[in-house]
């Protein structure tokens, strides 16, 4: 059993298989951002759904017009989502899919994206990816760029797309690329977080990646501070 908890006190218990990605602070800040900006029920796609932390939290907070749609590249994650949606009495349509590939016949009012978005080099020494792959390229942009290129085809207008830019990636490049693709885009939330202790063992590697602009972080009072920014794209 896994408990996904937000800072506002909301929590949800979820079944999570050992080989399914464990939600992070990025998952939480995505949920927070959507709750703060969307006030009624929408047709939602949870892209990179994992065990269901984001999608089912949005359902519990009255953002989802049933059924909820969800997909993940992991078969085990898809199975976990189905189990959890039944547990929480949420109708769902769940598919195993590489990004948006299996949704060509559908359009959504909200797409929330929590696919891998950090540098592939960082993932090699992070326990976040002990159980799943991270094929994002050295600067973390590969999957996000593919999504940016295709996302508008899957949006029912007016609609919204929410995605994170994580500082363990090439923040400036991903931001500039997204702003070049979308006419109406804005940052709606930031979450600062300390570099996990296990990554400090590889701090020299991180500093080299920062020199190459593949990651970003700040050193403050002996701490290494990273951040996640959530962006909202509006399609009208």
Cα separation, 150 vs 155, in Å, equals: 10
The per-residue pLDDT for 34 is 98
Q: What is the pTM of this model?
A: 0.96
Contacts made by residues 208-211, CB under 8 angstroms, sequence distance 24+? 209/119, 209/121, 209/122, 209/138
- The predicted-structure confidence for 185-200, as pLDDT tens digits, reads as follows 999 999 999 999 889 9
Q: State the pLDDT at residue 137.
A: 93
Q: What confidence score (pLDDT) does residue 131 get?
A: 65
pLDDT of residue 87: 97
- What is the block-wise mean pLDDT of the chain (236 residues), using blocks of 10 residues? 93 96 95 96 98 98 98 97 98 98 97 95 82 84 97 97 97 98 98 92 95 95 94 97
DSSP string, the chain: -EEEE-TTS-EEEE---TTSPPP-HHHHHHHHHHHHH--S-B-EEEET-TTSHHHHHHHHTT-B-SSEEEEES-HHHHHHHHHHHHHTT--EEEEE-STTGGGTT--EEEEEE-S--S-HHHHTT-GGGSSS-----TTS-HHHHHHHHHGGGGEEEEEEEEEEEESSS-HHHHHHHHHHH-SSEEEEEEEEEEPPHHHHTTHHHHHHHHHTTS---EEETTEEEEEEEEEEEEE-
Q: What per-residue confidence (pLDDT) applies to 126?
A: 80
Q: b vs e for 197-230, b when ≥16 Cβ sit within 10 Å of the residue's Cβ?
A: eebeebeeebeebeeeebbbbeeeeeebebbbbb
- Tens of pLDDT along 38-56? 999 999 999 999 999 999 9
């Amino acid at each position: 059993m896994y408990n996904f908890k937000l800072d506002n006190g909301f929590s949800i218990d979820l079944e999570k298989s050992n080989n399914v990605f464990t939600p992070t602070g990025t998952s939480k800040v995505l949920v927070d951002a959507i709750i703060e900006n969307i006030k009624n029920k929408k047709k939602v796609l949870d892209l990179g759904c994992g065990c269901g932390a984001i999608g089912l939290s949005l359902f519990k907070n009255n953002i989802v017009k049933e059924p909820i749609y969800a997909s993940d590249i992991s078969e085990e994650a898809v199975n976990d989502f189905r189990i959890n949606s039944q547990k929480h009495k949420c109708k769902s349509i769940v598919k195993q899919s590489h990004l948006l590939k299996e949704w060509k016949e559908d359009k959504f009012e909200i797409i929330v994206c929590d696919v891998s978005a950090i540098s592939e080099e960082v993932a090699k020494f992070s326990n976040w990816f002990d159980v799943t792959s991270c094929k994002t390229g050295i600067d973390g942009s590969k999957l996000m760029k593919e999504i940016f290129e295709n996302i508008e085809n899957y949006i029912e207008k007016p609609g919204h797309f929410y995605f994170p830019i994580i500082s363990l990636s090439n923040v400036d490049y991903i931001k500039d690329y997204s702003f070049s693709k979308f006419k109406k885009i804005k940052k709606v939330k930031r979450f600062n977080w300390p570099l996990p202790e296990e990554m400090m063992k590889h701090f020299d590697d991180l500093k080299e990646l920062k020199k190459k602009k593949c990651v970003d972080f700040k050193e403050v009072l002996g701490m290494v501070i990273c951040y996640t920014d959530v962006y909202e794209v509006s399609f009208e």
